[in-house]
Amino acid sequence: MSFDKEIEKEIVEKGLTAPRITLEHVESKIVEAQFHQFEGTTFTVCLFTLENGFQVSGESACASPENFDAELGRKIAHGNAVQKIWALEGYLLKQKLHEGAK
């Protein structure tokens, strides 16, 4: 089970029902994912295009080339891009809650 899914399970079990951002919400915003590994490097980029056209990137790099695995690089870059969207969506939710409290 991934860390995000473990946290989601714990949130549900604790009955925390206030507005929040979920992994499913973040993933619903992604309409396209592109990956690129720069030739001769261990550097991988994930570029998401979101439903409103905004783009978010995530990166990964391996310190020891002997440990480099392209699939793992894509997974790490993907996860890092997801975290960036999470922060943006969290800010947007907080702004909406703030405006609703006025």
How many independent structural domains does the chain possess?
A: 1
Mean pLDDT for the chain overall: 94
Print the domain residue range for 90: 3-100
With 0-12 / 13-18 / 19 or more C-beta atoms within 10 angstroms meaning exposed / middle / buried, residue 47 is middle
Q: How high is the pLDDT of residue 5? A: 81
Nearest to 23 by CA among 97, 96, 89: 89
Q: State pTM to two decimals.
A: 0.89
Q: For residue 75, give the CATH number of its domain.
A: 3.30.160
Residue 1 confidence class, pLDDT cut points 50, 70, 90: low
